[in-house]
Amino acid sequence: MLLVLIFACGVLLGALYMNSLSPGAAHPEKQSVYSRQAPEPIGSYSQGVRSGGFVWLSGQIGIDPATGNLTGGIEEQTTRAMENQKAVLTASGLTFADVVQTRIYLTSMSDFTAVNRIYSTYFTDTFPARSTVQVAGLPKDALVEIEMIAEKR
């Protein structure tokens, strides 16, 4: 009888362990995030994707969502890209305070100071981790693209 009880407990524990390794438990369902206040995607991607407690925000350039046009210099494009990200964050129920990492892509590092000045005004708490890199080109000949990762607290 004792052997049967030990065997039954082993089977039960094994089943619980295997269930904890199932794809559904290890990989929460992902959901697309969409905001009408941000530009329509210009490719096959989502504005953002929520999975678990995180939201990955696709790169935003300075496209005006009302007109679909990219206009202005580095300051205007940076401000518009940040406002576009703000719209996607809002659609996710998040704010810039929830952003844990950003990546900024510049076509010219000489724009770093101007971008940094505008970017820093959107964060009032601990700044997120960040990388800034120079690239050969961006969609629609944009000067800056900004992507983010945020965590629901």
Cβ(146)–Cβ(99) under 8 Å? Answer: no
* pLDDT for 1: 52
**Residue 6: inside a domain:** no
Residue 16 lies in a domain: no
- The answer to the question of residue 116 being in a domain is yes
For residue 92, CA distances in Å to 30, 50, 56, 86, 128 come to 13, 8, 10, 10, 18
Verdict on whether the full-model pTM lies above 0.85: no
Q: Which CATH number fits the domain that encloses residue 39?
A: 3.30.1330.40
DSSP state of 67: T
pLDDT for residue 66: 96
pLDDT of amino acid 26:
60
Do the domain assignments include residue 3? no
Residue 13 lies inside a defined structural domain of this protein:
no
Q: Is residue 46 part of a domain?
A: yes
The three-state (H, E, C) secondary structure of 2-67, written as one string: HHHHHHHHHHHHHHHHHHHCCHHHHCCCEEEECCCCCCCCCCCCCCEEEECCEEEEEEECCECCCC
Domain span including residue 105 = 27-151
The per-residue pLDDT for range 110-145, each reduced to its tens digit, is 999 999 999 999 999 899 999 999 999 999 999 999
CB environment 128-145: b (16+ within 10 A), e (fewer)? beeebeeeeebeeebbbb
In a domain, 119, yes or no: yes
Q: Give the Cα separation of 29 and 31 in Å (integer).
A: 7
Using 50 as the pLDDT threshold, list the residues of the chain that sit under it.
2-13, 15-23
Q: Is residue 126 part of a domain?
A: yes
Do strands 129-134 and 99-106 pair parallel, antiparallel, or not at all (unpaired)? Answer: parallel
Cβ atoms of 116 and 101 closer than 8 Å: no
How many domains is the chain built from? 1
Amino acid at 80: R
